Amino acid sequence: MLSHKGPMVGNRVSHANNKNKRRLLPNLHTIRITLEDGTRQKIKVATSTLRTMRKSK
């Protein structure tokens, strides 16, 4: 994974204000990139990182 993001922990809160633990997972996408030697490799990238990569082109 390129951005080193991991799951966060939070609470799921009901209408009665009951709190249960939940995991908030990063929004990951698998993309193919071309390396300098011409080979292609699949990596997992967070969407925020993907937006930053597209802006830098």
User: What pLDDT was estimated at residue 56?
Assistant: 86
Specify the number of domains making up the chain: 1
In a domain, 1, yes or no: no
pTM attached to this predicted model? 0.67
- Report how far residue 7's alpha carbon sits from residue 54's, in angstroms, rounded to the nearest whole number: 24
pLDDT tens digits, residue range 2-46? Answer: 778 899 999 999 999 999 999 999 999 999 999 999 999 999 999
Residues in the chain: 57
- Residue 3 in any domain: the answer is no
Question: Which residues span the domain enclosing 47?
Answer: 8-55
3-state secondary structure the chain: CCCCCCCEEEEEECCCCCEEEEEECCCEEEEEEECCCCCEEEEEEEHHHHHHHHHCC
User: How does residue 57 score in pLDDT terms, banded at 50, 70 and 90?
Assistant: confident
Q: CATH code at 23?
A: 2.30.170.40
